[in-house]
Structure 1
Amino acid sequence: MDSVKILVKGEKWMEENEKCGGAIPDTFFEVERLQEFINLGTVKTYAKGSAVMWPGDKCSSLIYVVSGRLRVNKLLDDGRERLVYFTGKHGLVGKLYETCNDSYAIALEDSKVCFFSKEQLKKIFSLNDEIPFDIIRNYLSKTSYYMKQAAEIDYFNPAVRIVRLFYELYIANGVKTGDHYEINIQLSLENISEITGTHYVTASKVIGWLRKNKVMEKKRKKIIIYDAEKLKMMTQGTHVF
């Protein structure tokens, strides 16, 4: 494992990502009630860009984000890395039961996390019987997101999936500004391709077509929607081009 490569990639993502609505795999359901019990777990702090967990780590803990923000990646067999999700304050990274050893987490900003063991969680559940249901809701929200992603990959071609991402961002975070809408988010082509399961060249071509036809434009730190109705119409077919 090339630790320098992973940390450099983590630094790159710190500057490129901000939380933005349900279209982005981010935090999911926040388990706020666990914050009251971090004194029962093991709290650690991580500087921006450092690894919270590595592939192959035997963690056996539920990882809870007290503050800050993490990116969870999956390491593929050929050495490539794939975004799984982001998680911010009150989010969870499930490592209590090991299902795979090929994921790792990078702190995208200075972060504090709490590691809860099975025995510690049992005690917490006895003190607050609503927390297990909050954790279930967190996992169900992840499941729902990836079920939707799997269905869209099967049904829509890559170009439509990219258009649907932009439309979902518009619905969740679009702000009316004059005769257009703005979405304050910093998404690179790599971000877009990983979230939609497409090639970054495809993402570049789709964005270029949308800009040329005055539907929307992607800036470095925001997305501008000029024709929301046309964007919506383009999400309803299986193919765009």
Structure 2
Amino acid sequence: MTMTTPYDEHSNIMCFSEQNRERLMEIAKERNYPEGSHLFWEGDTADKLYFLKSGRVKVTKSTDEGKELILYMYHAGDIVGQVDPFLAGKHSFTAEVLEECEVAVIEQRDLELVICQHCDFSLDFMKWMSVHHRLTQTKVRDLMLYGKPGALCSTLIRLSNTYGEDLKDGGILINKKVTHTDLSNMIGATRESVNRMLSDLRKKNVLEYDNGMIIIRELEHLQEVCHCEMCPKAICRI
């Protein structure tokens, strides 16, 4: 299996060198997952990684009250999963397919063999794990330190880094429809509070809507509210 599709430079597969990306694909097995299916459920054995060749996947955590918290949104070029080499573990999250996916499935035992055989691969794998941990840490920071307004502003910045398109008039179009319910699930807030915060941002001309899509007009205001630390886009993504 070869990797011929160009992926976004901020996709987490880019943690691996071209040679090591090819090594990953050599041990992978292709599968297709329809929209609405799941790569894995919370509590399943964590013995696989999933490389998305196409499609989108959201990773969620369920609370005791049954509320869904969206932790990550993955797209083509990303590796999904939480394999701990040489250890047996279980998934802490659920991965749901949002758009039909073509996936390269990598078994833990095959991954461990490549890690043992190639020192440069093991270093790239550590780099991938480090990026994933930093992504998690910054999201926890955003959710915990600066309240719901800070969490919302941070999420909007992450969406702009992931799906943003620069407009001629200086705005940034988030080229994916994101509902208020989606945003509430991303920051652990009620839909009503998200509606109120978005309304306040619109009144301040920080953002506007075009055919149901968000356009950010004042990125600096969002950065100020969430005390943005200017993390690289590989980390500051949804």
TM-score above 0.5, yes or no: yes
Q: How many residues align?
A: 214
**2:216 is the alignment partner of 1:225:** yes
Compared CA separation, residues 164 and 85, structure 1 to 2 (3 A)? closer
Q: What residue number does 1:203 align with? A: 194
Q: What residue number does 1:43 align with? A: 30
Compared CA separation, residues 64 and 35, structure 1 to 2 (3 A)? farther
Q: What do you get for the CA RMSD once the two structures are aligned?
A: 3.3
Give the letter for the 2:180 counterpart.
L
Give the ranges of 4+ consecutive aligned residues of structure 1 lying more than 6 Å apart after TM superposition: none
Tell me the TM-score normalised to structure 1 length: 0.70
d(CA) in 1 for partners of 2:90, 2:174:
35
Q: What residue number does 2:147 align with? A: 157
Give the letter for the 1:110 counterpart.
E
Q: Deviations over 1:7-36 (max 9, x none)?
A: xxxxxxxxxxxxx998xxxx5454463444
**2:107 is the alignment partner of 1:117:** yes
Q: Deviations over 1:90-116 (max 9, x none)?
A: 413124555445532222222233333
Q: What residue number does 1:70 align with? A: 57
d(CA) in 2 for partners of 1:119, 1:170:
37
| Post-superposition offset of 1:205 | 0.4
| Post-superposition offset of 1:85 | 1.4
**2:180 is the alignment partner of 1:193:** no
d(CA) in 2 for partners of 1:111, 1:185:
17
Compared CA separation, residues 28 and 192, structure 1 to 2 (3 A)? farther
Compared CA separation, residues 185 and 63, structure 1 to 2 (3 A)? closer
Q: What residue number does 2:119 align with? A: 129
d(CA) in 1 for partners of 2:68, 2:195:
20
d(CA) in 2 for partners of 1:235, 1:47:
36
**2:80 is the alignment partner of 1:92:** yes
d(CA) in 2 for partners of 1:164, 1:37:
33
On the 8 A contact 2:46/2:83 being kept in 1, the answer is yes
